[in-house]
Amino acid sequence: MANNDTIYIDIDDEITSIIDKLRSSNGKVVALVLPKRASVFQSVVNMKLLKRAADTEKKTPILITSEAGLLPLAGLAGLHVAKTLTSKPEIPLAPSAISEAADAIGEDGQEIENLPDSHQSIGELADKTHKAPKPPSEGVETLMLNDDNLPPEAEGGKLPSSKGTGAAGAAKVAKKAKDKKLKIPNFSRFRLLFVIGVLILILFIAAFIFASVALTKATINIKTNATNVDVNLNLTASTRQTSLDMISNVLPAKAVQTQKTYSATEVTTGQTNNGAKAQGNITVTETSNGPCAGSTIPNSIPSGTGFTSNGLTYITEDTITFVQQGFGNPHQCTFQGLNSNGGTNIPITAQAAGSASNTSGTPFTDPQDPSVNATGSASGGTDDIVQTVNQNDINNAKNKININSNAEQQLLSNELKGDGYYPLTATYSSGTPVVTSSASVGSVTNTVTVTETVNYIMFGVHKSDLTTLIDNSVDGQINTAKQSILSTGLNRANYNLINSSSSSVQLAMSTVAIAGPQLNTNAIKQQSEGLKAGQVQSQLQNNPNVTGVTVHFSPFWVSTVPKNTAHITVVIAKPTKTAKSSSQ
């Protein structure tokens, strides 16, 4: 009996400890002696777990029990059962068909071969080598237990007699058992789905609570008998004023300035010929109508006089004087021009450099005296063209300058705010730009840069001084016993600049103030906490100056004002009536 072993099971043993005992056993056939009412084996799952562990260890477990309630479960799992240690073990069946199905189908759906002979005793089984089926290659397979797979004794509660079951019935049951796998419910998956469902429910409840508490809002809209009051004031802001003059509306002011330099560069397009100027000589004569006798000698032509030829100008280098040349023609007299040495060659130089001034044997004229005739030539003129600045180049560079006055305005506005002043943006102005050029017209250069320097200025006053003047104007138009100023309208005021200097500015200011009953919005919020819409309306309409109240809630299911003033908004409607305006 070396190949068999006997293990006594306690009533409190779990299936895992039973499997451990089975694995620790040295016998190939292990008899498990069960106590009465062993609850661990009341589950087909535990039965099949035991069967799988035994197959893996290549052992044959035999349940020693006389409890009839365990037999159907053992039969489903394919476990042998014996009433005593000396009884022959057998797989409980719904006789032959169920036995065949249980023997042939393992937990993983595979056929099991070489099962022990159900007609042999425990000792006889131990003497034979038991070949266990191969364990599954990929862990435990999840099985579902269908009612169709239960043997007749499990479904009806009674074990049918093998004698009363015919061959046809047994074959039908066996075929049905082979067609379907015995599967165990996946309790891990069920537990996972249950946990996920609980988490979703908790999140939903948390979201509902958050929406009902953190997102709850109420808006209280109040209509009153408030009126608009037009305010028109002529103001003077002066840096020399030290205090507010409410009679003349003169406010102490501060002026801030900044200087900005802008520049732009342009490629020059002018050209100058720096080559040599042509030089030469001309002979000059002048004729007069009538005989020489009694004729007046022409005036001398001073040095530096310009003679033209072919559209070019040549400058004389010497004084030209005239002498009578002859008396032969009785109708005209010719006078010869002489240089300071008495010669007839008058030296000339081209006014502009360049080879174009070279000429030979061409006539020259004196633009100031058409009666003067001259001929001559000039040579030696050469070309050397260079780029120079012209006025268009300077103008183009100036037009390229981009002055961003908005940036400077914001800079000055921020400076005034930092010093505690209310900026009057209408006083923002720029001085006359100072324009300079890197090169003058005619200068030899490839580029020219134009620079503009601009001074910007803005005035600011104390906001409290402006508010005081507005209050003074509004008080003169309302009944101060029944109304008070709800809004000065300072943030909506318009200013028009009338006159300005370096130390003061004159402006016309216009705005619309609001006068009406003084309502404390913070007190309204506190008094409305936790109330319904009707209660809020009744509470506020007790004020004779309140003409209407509406309350809106969000989200849609909320019906009371939140108990948090941060979630309450009070809106006082704008007035529709306008009081008589004033002008100061």
pLDDT at 132: 41
**34-38: which pairs have CB atoms within 8 A and are 24 or more residues apart?**
34/9, 34/63, 34/64, 34/65, 34/67, 34/70, 35/9, 35/10, 35/11, 36/67, 37/11, 37/67, 38/9, 38/11, 38/65, 38/67, 38/70
C-alpha span between 296 and 272 (Å, rounded): 44
Contact 63/90 with Cβ under 8 angstroms? no
What pLDDT, on the 0 to 100 scale, is given for residue 189?
84
Residue 470 bridge partners (DSSP): none
- Are 283 and 374 a contacting pair, CB within 8 Å? yes
Sign of CA dihedral 460, 461, 463, 468: negative
Residue by residue, pLDDT tens for the chain (584 residues) are 457 889 988 888 888 989 988 888 888 899 999 988 788 888 888 889 988 999 998 889 999 998 888 888 888 888 999 988 888 898 886 444 444 444 444 444 444 444 445 455 555 554 544 444 444 333 333 333 334 433 433 333 443 443 444 444 444 544 455 455 455 667 788 888 999 999 999 998 888 777 767 778 899 998 887 889 999 999 999 999 999 999 999 999 999 999 999 999 999 999 899 999 999 999 999 887 777 766 788 889 999 999 999 999 999 999 999 998 765 566 678 889 999 999 999 999 999 999 999 999 889 999 888 889 999 999 999 999 999 999 999 999 999 988 877 889 999 999 999 999 999 999 999 888 899 999 999 899 999 999 999 999 999 999 999 999 999 999 888 888 777 888 899 999 999 999 999 899 999 999 999 888 878 888 888 889 889 889 898 888 887 778 889 999 888 778 899 888 888 999 888 777 776 554 44
Q: What is the dihedral of CA 359, 363, 368, 370, to 10 degrees?
A: -170
Q: Rounded to whole angstroms, what are the CA distances from 236 to 132, 254, 325, 421, 466?
A: 112, 12, 87, 15, 11
> Rounded CA gap, 474 and 513, in Å?
7
Helix H or strand E encompassing 513: strand 504-516
Q: Tell me if residue 541 falls in helix, strand or coil.
A: coil
- State the amino acid at position 519 in one-letter form: L
d(CA 87, CA 547): 102
Per-residue pLDDT at 330: 63
Exposure string of 543-562, with b = 16+ CB inside 10 Å and e = fewer, is: eeebeebebebeeeebebbb
When computed from its CA atoms, the radius of gyration of the chain, rounded to whole angstroms, is 61
Quick check: 531 and 246 in contact, CB under 8 A? no
How is residue 68 written in tokens?
């009839």
For residue 267, what are its two tokens?
A: 């490629």
The CA-based dihedral angle spanning residues 99, 103, 105, 110, taken in that order and rounded to the nearest 10 degrees: -160
Contact present, 412 and 423 (Cβ < 8 Å): yes
Cα–Cα dist 21/43, whole Å: 19
3-state SS assignment for residue 49: helix
pLDDT tens-place string over residues 303-333: 999 999 999 999 999 999 999 876 556 667 8
For residue 580, the surrounding DSSP H or E stretch is strand 577-583
- Greatest CA separation found in the chain? 186
Strand, coil or helix: 545: coil
pLDDT at residue 277 in the model? 95
Over residues 181-199, the pLDDT tens digits come to 455 667 788 888 999 999 9
From CA 358, how far away is CA 375, in angstroms rounded?
Answer: 14
Tokens for 322, please give them: 């005239």
Which of 444, 138, 103 shows the shortest CA–CA distance to 268? 444
- Looking at residue 161, its pLDDT comes to 41
Strands 80-82 and 60-64: parallel
Specify the DSSP element, H or E, that contains 12: none
